[in-house]
């Protein structure tokens, strides 16, 4: 699943570690989500979106799921 997490992190000058600490996960999880190896749980997706003041849909691209 495509996300805007890397873009949002860079805009806000955050490291993966800083974002991970803010949302209660690990740097490895943030890295895996950014490269598409892992899909965030609904709770983690909400925490990430909320951290940036956005909706889940503004951070995560669900267009691939619409094709199913």
- Structure pTM? 0.90
Residue 48 near residue 25 (C-beta atoms within 8 A): no
pLDDT in tens, 35-67: 999 999 999 999 999 999 999 999 999 887 666
* Number of C-beta neighbours around residue 16 at 10 A: 19
What 3-state DSSP class applies to 57?
helix
pLDDT for 36 equals 93
Q: Which of the four CATH numbers 1.20.1070.10, 1.10.260.40, 3.10.20.90, 3.40.50.410 does domain 5-61 have?
A: 1.10.260.40
């Amino acid at each position: 699943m495509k996300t805007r997490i890397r873009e949002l992190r860079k805009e806000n000058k955050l490291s993966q570690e800083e974002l991970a600490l803010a949302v209660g996960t690990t740097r490895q999880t943030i890295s895996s989500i950014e490269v598409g190896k892992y899909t965030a749980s609904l709770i983690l997706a909400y925490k990430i979106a909320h951290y940036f003041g956005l909706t889940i849909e503004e951070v995560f691209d669900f267009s691939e799921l619409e094709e199913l």
